[in-house]
A and B are shown apart, each in its own frame.
Chain A
Amino acid sequence: MQKLSCHKVNDLLSAYLENELDTATTIVIATHLESCKSCSQELESISAVTQLIKESFAKRKDESIQARAKTINDLVRAEITSGTVSTKVLIDVKVGSKSAEKIERPSRLHRSFFFKAVLAASLVAVFSFVSIFALKYYGSYTGPLLAGAARNHRLCSLIEETGVGWYTGEELRLFAEKLDFIPPELSQFGLKLDGAHPCKVFKAPFLHLMYMKGSEPISVYYGSNVAVERLRKLEDNFEPGKIYSFESGDVKVSAFITSKDRIWIVAGKISSNEVGRITASIKSDVEVDKKQIGFN
């Protein structure tokens, strides 16, 4: 039987512990461990560290994972059906290959005029197709509402720091209680409700909630059917059920109108993806899980 030095055995102990060695090497190491005290101690030590790591991670709470995963799936589906994500054909798809997602199929047609003409025609066709098949969740947005929300977010977050005109702390609780208003729970995104005040976006009345993600303010606007009616006079391309997105510099905004004509807008200096996820989560709370949030 092959013999291994202590140094070599030590290098293989991790793999031995995970049963990743072939049978012959496993037997060689097991035999070595029977007669070598220092290697046995090293194995025990590695095993203890492994156990510690596994236990430490097991204690970590991952309760929000399922909810976050659902939101991500919803957003990905929405982006796919909106037609903003194209597809590519690859040569090599083997897992582990460097080219797994990088190499496109080469084509001689690539430079030809004929190819370009066909491509142009295809693009027109695909665009038409997207119009009928997609846009289930996302809508194109050109109106002023979300730009107004972005501007308000900048202004209001400055004022909120001073506390003037804002309900915070115990006052915030009493304010919400008096109005019978239930703010959305967004702690799964690291957001904590910090304040609220009545606010107007393009003369439409909103309740403006300010959440904090660390030191970054995130605005959540809630408008009743009164706000929705006024906004429809400004722009009529807002369809219930779709999420609309907008960017104004570093402020990203998303919004949707519920089937009961309530409007929710999220704005903040965070990534578009994150704003989208927060909006999708509120939408899901309202329309899928039927949670009691907003005015009831």
Chain B
Amino acid sequence: MSDNFSNDENLQARQRLKSFEDSVFLHTPILLRVATRMCKKSGEADDVVQETLLRAWKYWDSFEQGTNCRAWLFRIMVNVVQRRRETIAATAEHVSVEEPTISNVLKFEPKMEFDESGAIAAIEKLPSEYKDVIVLVLVEEFSYKEVSAMLDIPMGTVMSRLHRARLMIKKMLKPLWGEQAASI
């Protein structure tokens, strides 16, 4: 059976796998960290990252060596997350078609045990497109350009979503903080 294949082909396959592992696996922790913040269920983030890496392998020959591998992986991961969200939305009994506004994200209960300020709980309550931008820009400190590429949206949209997300969070935190929030 092995006679069908030359040593060259074997070597080529191994080299391809090695190049993939060397370039991709070092990004798994950051993919996982962001996925954890983007997904609602705890086990879902691991599934998302695993699926992302397998998709990356599937399309590895198309990746242009020397370009930004991390951004490429995030682009794939965002697609995976969005597809999952679409599946969940399609199978949900009730799907809201209401546009996200400040008023419809105001009600929330912060998880005080690990989130004294309520900031994380507030972010969790944001519509997903706003939450993704907040996590990528403020928490993971990606540039607007990188986020624009990852989410496949114009830079201006990154800027406006971030601004609106900040305003929503500010509105949500104000009543919780009471007078202490005077500064914000």
Contact = CB atoms under 8 A, between A and B. Distances in A.
Please tell me the size bucket of the interface on A: 35 or more
B25 to A, nearest CB: 5
Interface stretch (A124-132, A159-167, A252-260): A124-132
A137 to B, nearest CB: 13
B26 to A, nearest CB: 9
Nearest to B162: A14
B4 A90 contact: no
Interface string A60-99: 1010011011111101110111000111111101111110
B85 interface: no
A93 B4 contact: no
A98 B10 CA distance: 34
Given A11-B163, A50-B138, A69-B28, A20 B143 contact: yes
A141 interface: no
B91 interface: no
A46 interface: yes
A62 B117 contact: no
Given A89-B62, A95-B67, A72 B53 contact: yes
Q: Is the interface of A mostly helix, strand, loop or mixed?
A: helix
A223 to B, nearest CB: 26
A88 B134 contact: no
Contact of A46 (B36, B116, B166): B166
Contact of B58 (A11, A59, A73, A86): A86
Contacts of A90: 59, 61-62
B46 A133 contact: no
Nearest to A131: B1
Contacts of B63: 93
Contact of A95 (B21, B50, B58, B68): B68
A274 B83 CA distance: 19
Interface string A196-207: 000000000000
A101 B59 contact: yes
Contacts of A98: 152
Contact of B32 (A44, A59, A65, A133): A65
B137 interface: yes
A96 B75 contact: yes
B86 interface: no
Nearest to A124: B4
A12 B60 CA distance: 38
A49 B174 CA distance: 10
A72 B46 contact: yes
Contacts of B117: 52, 55-56
B17 interface: yes
Contact of A100 (B17, B32, B75): B75
A50 B166 contact: yes
B38 interface: no
A234 interface: no
A85 B138 contact: no
Contact of A88 (B59, B120, B173): B59
Contact of B62 (A59, A62, A93, A132): A93
A11 B160 contact: yes
A189 B43 contact: yes
Contacts of B49: 69, 72
Interface in A4-59: 11-15, 18, 20, 44-46, 48-50, 52-57, 59
B39 interface: no
Interface in B75-113: 75-76, 79
The 3 nearest A-B residue pairs measured at CB: A96-B149, A90-B62, A69-B28
Given A69-B28, A72-B46, 13 more contacts: A14-B162, A52-B117, A53-B138, A65-B33, A73-B28, A85-B58, A88-B62, A95-B75, A95-B150, A101-B76, A129-B13, A273-B46, A274-B46
7 contacts: A45-B184, A53-B123, A59-B114, A80-B17, A93-B59, A98-B152, A129-B13
